[in-house]
Structure 1
Amino acid sequence: MSEQALREDIVAVAQAIDKAGFCPSKSGNVSARFGDGFLLTPSGLPYARTKPEDLIHVALDGTVLSGSRKPSSEWPFHVAIYKARPDAQAIVHTHSPRATALSCARRGIPAFHYMIALCGGADVRCADYATFGSPELAENAVRALEGRKAVLLANHGVIALGASLAGAHTIVAEVENLAGQYLDLLASGLEPVILDAAEMERVSAKFAGYGKVG
């Protein structure tokens, strides 16, 4: 894929999550690997006005390689995840309402539904809290993402990673869907029935042969 095409795809995903209501007050960010680093959405620019040329090229040491705008304040966790996870080709971060609400209870999402396996494991963990944009948040996110493709950030939001932008986008949307279902169950007073580890392994094996999502 050319640099221009990749820039256009990043902007398209950023605008899609914004239209879905996942990015209130210009929150969230999107990136994808490019060259020796990654292309990242800028800080403070509404997604509806973001253009491909507004993206910033960032090296894996955090150095800005090109771009006239300031990179997203969350660039440290993009750097940390790309360094720790060679499988990650794209990262989507949102403040989607229901997943963020669950993160504010510092509660992850257990395997109450088999679609949890889309997120890379038997649950979606909630990472320990740290101030946004900090190295501590980056460290906490990487730790909670071990063996996973999605994580809740305590009192903050969601990170999803994928082997493609489309994969990361799909996962972040599914986390919001699952968070909503889980919150509805808890609000109803019903106790979710959690699928066991053996079943989640079976589901994961089926997903491995079902398309290339994630």
Structure 2
Amino acid sequence: MLLAQERAAVVRYGRKLVAAGLTAGTGGNLSCRSPETGMVAISPSGMDYGEIAEEDVAVLSPSGEVVEGRRKPSSEWAMHLEAYRVRSDAGGVVHTHSPFATVLACLGWEIPPVHYLVGFAGKRVPCIPYVLFGTDELARSAASALGEGNAVLLGNHGLLAVGPTLSRAFATAEEIEFVAQVYYRTRCVGEPKVLSDGEMEPVLAKFAAYGQQ
């Protein structure tokens, strides 16, 4: 089976996506790229994450051709491939409909550095205007907005996160959901103190060596 490890990771993190409350039902999608071949293992379209087997995970070529897999790939496959195209350092992509990130996306608000953990994504998380799901326009807009950051809010839709591994992309999605909740709740009761670029720069420097290297 092609990309056995990557497909197993998609199954495992798909279940974690639901368990962590980052999506509901069959919403959201995730993928993992092989550094050796450039091929991408991506979750199937419209399937319950608890029922997805490794054979259900589609394998795509960098140009989007289905190389292997018994199911249709996620409707957002183009957004994943475009994210990998503009971010050669990315090994995993996670798209969620996590509640607080989605609330901010529906408000059209970016996430400023209200908490240092926004550093998982960068100095802030931008928000792009609404674009119809599953389109090349959304793929280009989301990937362009990433820049050197690791997350972007999709207007009236959800969150896209990338990382050098699927594990790191998932961690970024989790941490940004936490920061989104903090930001929304602080805005409900007052005007939060936002960290400056100067305060965020050492955070990003520490995050570069964060965790087990």
| TM-score of the aligned structures, taking structure 1 as reference length | 0.94
Q: What letter is aligned with 2:204?
A: S
Cα shift at 1:3: 2.8
Range that drifts further, 3-12 or 106-115: 3-12
Looking at structure 2, the residues matched to 36 and 178 of structure 1 have their Cα atoms a distance apart, in angstroms, of 32
Looking at structure 2, the residues matched to 210 and 18 of structure 1 have their Cα atoms a distance apart, in angstroms, of 25
Q: What letter is aligned with 1:172?
A: A
Looking at structure 2, the residues matched to 70 and 196 of structure 1 have their Cα atoms a distance apart, in angstroms, of 45
Identity %: 40
Looking at structure 2, the residues matched to 212 and 84 of structure 1 have their Cα atoms a distance apart, in angstroms, of 26
The aligned residue for residue 30 of structure 2 is 30
Per-residue Cα deviation, 1:76-135 (whole angstroms, up to 9, x for no partner): 10111111110100001110111101100011100111111111x210111222100001
Q: What letter is aligned with 2:13?
A: V
Looking at structure 2, the residues matched to 51 and 68 of structure 1 have their Cα atoms a distance apart, in angstroms, of 10
SS in 1 for 2:105: helix
Cα shift at 1:212: 5.3
Looking at structure 2, the residues matched to 169 and 160 of structure 1 have their Cα atoms a distance apart, in angstroms, of 7
The aligned residue for residue 44 of structure 1 is 46
Cα shift at 1:211: 2.4
Looking at structure 1, the residues matched to 212 and 89 of structure 2 have their Cα atoms a distance apart, in angstroms, of 13
Q: What letter is aligned with 1:198?
A: G
SS in 1 for 2:198: helix
Per-residue Cα deviation, 1:161-202 (whole angstroms, up to 9, x for no partner): 1111110110000111111111101111x1111111111111
Maintained 8 Å contact 2:92/2:163: yes
The aligned residue for residue 13 of structure 1 is 13
- The unaligned stretches of length 5 or more in structure 1 are none
The aligned residue for residue 158 of structure 2 is 157
Looking at structure 1, the residues matched to 181 and 113 of structure 2 have their Cα atoms a distance apart, in angstroms, of 14
Q: What letter is aligned with 1:127?
A: I
Cα shift at 1:11: 0.6
1:64 equivalent in alignment to 2:66: yes
SS in 2 for 1:25: coil
The aligned residue for residue 199 of structure 2 is 199
Q: What letter is aligned with 2:198?
A: A
Cα shift at 1:208: 1.7
Q: After TM superposition, list the pairs within 5 Å mapping 1:99-118 onto structure 2.
A: 99-118=101-120
Cα shift at 1:6: 2.3
Maintained 8 Å contact 2:98/2:177: yes
The aligned residue for residue 55 of structure 1 is 57
Cα shift at 1:53: 0.9
The aligned residue for residue 182 of structure 1 is 183
